[in-house]
Amino acid sequence: MPTSYPAETLLIEGPDAMAFAHAQFSSNVSSLATGQWQFSAWLDPQGRVRALFHLARLADDRYLVLLRGGTATAMVEALKRFVFRSKLSLTALPVRALTTGPSMPLHAISDDAEILSLGCDTHSLQITAANIGDDAWRLPQLRAGWPWLPPQTLNELLPAALSLQRLQAVAIDKGCYPGQEIVARLHYRGGHKRHLHSVTLSQVANAGDVLRRGDREVGCVLDVITTHDDIAALVVLSDDAAAQARDGHLNPLDDSLMIHLDTSWSA
């Protein structure tokens, strides 16, 4: 397991940057103030999450995207197909490191020549040109239910499975964006069958692992952190599997994997 996830970032710049981001991404981009960040996502037409990210407004016409899974190069190439005549540029930045900084108000930004810090309340997530990162930020974010998407899950999960409405990464009442019709239909009519859980595992698993019981897939692993005390993980589980838990304990899965549900989130 890597010491830290890399900082995959891209810039959206130009007079039409806000309008473009608002039309493509699922959050309410037009409400994002300069000097603030918000969670956001880019969905496919079927409403599945192509990318999850921090969207930081560095200036009136300059946005930085910090991906929580996937690569900036791939996202820039995919987004370019939708620029048409918009006056903006899309740039994948060199991969940098992520480090843990001091506490900062949630959604605040501190930007200087060397480090960009995103406020996460009890800590800050720093993007730095230094070659060495750290992973101290990962555990509090895992326990807060902030997903990081392994490659196997990209283009596979609906926003509700990642609790994105809770994170205000999905807006139900804004104008059209890719996947919006599916998101709204599921919101108003129900039909969510998988949700996000912070859990403790009985043995080590890997991000991206599929969770099975016999011939049935019951979920997937998004992130795993081994601490001195236990094995913490963020997983997506089918609702019927989660409903079978007794005192928080799920029935054993394949390979005798035991899961204890610590925190569960709705859409």
* Closest among 180, 212, 220, 227 to 196, alpha carbons compared: 220
What's the pLDDT at 191? 72
What's the pLDDT at 251? 87
Q: How far apart are the first and last CA of the chain?
A: 29
Task: Return the half-sphere exposure (C-beta side, CA atoms, 13 A cut-off) of residue 79.
Answer: 28
CA pair distance 196, 251, nearest whole angstrom: 18
CATH number for the domain whose boundaries are 193-265: 2.40.30.110
Show the low-confidence residues of the chain (pLDDT under 50).
1-3
What's the pLDDT at 2? 44
Residues 63, 109 contacting (CB under 8 angstroms): no
What's the pLDDT at 112? 87
What's the pLDDT at 1? 39
Using the structure block, give the residue that is written with the tokens 């800050």: 124
CA pair distance 47, 58, nearest whole angstrom: 28
The CATH class, in words, for 6-147 is alpha beta
What's the pLDDT at 41? 98
* Closest among 32, 23, 28, 25 to 10, alpha carbons compared: 25
Q: How many CB atoms lie within 10 A of CB 88?
A: 20
Using the structure block, give the residue that is written with the tokens 């969905």: 43
What's the pLDDT at 131? 78
Domain coordinates of the chain in residue numbers? 6-147, 193-265
6-147 and 193-265 agree in CATH topology: no
Give the Cα-Cα-Cα angle 36, 86, 108 (nearest 5 degrees): 5
Two tokens, residue 52? 């999850």
